[in-house]
Amino acid sequence: MIAIVDYGMGNLRSVQKGFERVGASARIVTLPEQIEQADKVVLPGVGAFRDAMAHLRDMRLVEPLVAAANSGKPFLGICLGLQLLFDVSCEGGEHQGLGVVRGRVVRFDFTGRPELRELKVPHMGWNEVTWDRDCPLMRGLSSPTYFYFVHSYYVDPTDRSVRVGRCSYGIEFTAMIRRGNLYATQFHPEKSQSVGLTMLSNFAAL
């Protein structure tokens, strides 16, 4: 069973419908024991990093999520779910994350670069993701591939070897990471039409 973690911040139904469209069974869960019992875990999310971490703490989900991400079972973070895996975010101050992946979450900043004045923040819409190396979730996808993004912050991993996908928006940033069976994307597979469904299908097949 694929557990989609509901901590009050995310379009969960669209993620669940994406898995259903590829024939996978996915349940929306809220309890620590449901995460522990799941075969695979998905951590989606939209919104503010600080609020998300507060919800996770209040619901006693921090330790189960860290354990799941480090357990070797397939784990997928999406958008804010990617950012929460990192040590710290600079969104609205400095806030501690789950600390599963070393690195920081930082804001797009084009100050002092007038040639980029037409770029808006948040980065919203379709953009190309180029793969740095092979990854099971990319089976059947070419490089580069267009995915759908909505975000003002991006992750900056300490260990660049975790990056498997990159994107350019004024700067080149990490669009996808992998460490063993831990995967996470800044883009939204569930909003990325057929290519996103391919990725969700590949995850379900792990």
Whether residue 45 contacts residue 4, with contact meaning beta carbons closer than 8 Å, is answered with no
Judge whether residue 11 has pLDDT over 90: no
Judge whether residue 162 has pLDDT over 90: yes
Burial 66-91 (b: 16+ CB within 10 A, else e): eebbeeebbbbbbbbbbbbbbbbbeb
Tell me what the mean pLDDT of segment 25-37 comes to.
Answer: 97
- In three-state secondary structure terms, 95 is strand
In this structure, CATH architecture of domain 2-91+103-204: 3-Layer(aba) Sandwich (3.40)
pTM of the model: 0.96
pLDDT value of residue 35: 98
Where exactly are the structural domains of the chain?
A: 2-91+103-204
Which residues are catalytic, by number?
Answer: 79, 188, 190
pLDDT value of residue 112: 87
